[in-house]
Amino acid sequence: MSMSKFRKIGLVGRPDHSGVVTSLEKLVSYLDGKAVSIVADAATAALMKNVTLEVVPKTDLGDSCDLVIVVGGDGSILNIAKYVLSTKVPVIGVNRGKLGFLTDILPDEIESKLDDVLSGACSLEERFLLDIYLLGSDERKYLGSALNDVVLHPGSAAQMTEFELFIDDVFVYSQESDGLIVATPTGSTAYALSAGGPIMHPSLDAMVLAPMYPHSLSSRPVVVGGDSQIKLTIPSTGSRQPQISCDGDLKYSANGGDQFLITKKTVPLHLIHPPGHSFYEACRSKLGWGSRLVKKND
């Protein structure tokens, strides 16, 4: 990559994250000294009362810039992904959240890391998303997309729900549980991890199906190929109405007899990483893995 590719930079900030305004102002000050122009969505521009920026609708952000810098947490990148996917504009994050598996740059590293990125010393990574559809008799209705996970859950009440799972039209099991998490490798370090799912390297072409508190001691997470067709069927009997969420955003309240199809989205999200990025280093720092032992000198 060359710097000439990044001539117009889009800024997105999460309003409810502490320190976001400080980092946004630092970014604007830094970018003003570069041969780039800056745009922002209206909500982000409103955060910076002393700075005047070109404002574009969030839906047009991908068409309006060559690179999007997101200031916030991983949830901020989850939110912006759907607006830039079709344009293939890459995204990089400044971490103002908690874990920050997707937001690589620390607030005090903005200048040094972006110097590398704008000079072309960076790597590009593709992360796939999931699509979920409600299946009808002769068509399917798109419900939403998720970078982390699609979750079938009982909603606000703590009660078990029933469903049947099919993979590539082959029956797998019927289950009574609090629900099912269908996660991408990106999402394997999010909600699925809390449900006992495995950590998957982001480069894997796979999904994890992690049951939530199953009413069975033998039910365990299952890893399947990324091109698998996941179908969930809700029994036509019973009064429970589970819900479908994508990256924590409620999309649909199910009815008895509903069938859902979950598949890999055809267009991936493009993430930019600064030099030295390591998924395993992120695991060490975010999950508390042990660091390398240092040999003592006698």
Q: How far apart are CA 240 and CA 49, in angstroms?
A: 48
H/E stretch holding 112: helix 110-118
- DSSP SS3 for 81: helix
Burial 60-88 (b: 16+ CB within 10 A, else e): ebbebbbbbbbbbbbbbbbbbbbbbbebe
> How many CB atoms neighbour CB 219 within 10 A?
15
Of the candidates 34, 36, 66, 39, the one whose C-alpha atom is nearest the C-alpha of residue 52 is 39
Asked if 155 and 243 count as a contact pair (C-beta separation under 8 A), the reply is yes
Q: Write the DSSP assignment of 152-211 as a string of letters.
A: EE-TTS---EEEEEEETTEEEEEEEESEEEEE-TGGGGTHHHHTTPPP--TT--EEEEEE
Residue 233 corresponds to which amino acid? T
Q: How far apart are CA 283 and CA 298, in angstroms?
A: 31
Catalytic residues: 74
- Torsion from C-alpha of 234, 138, 226, 200, nearest 10 degrees: -30
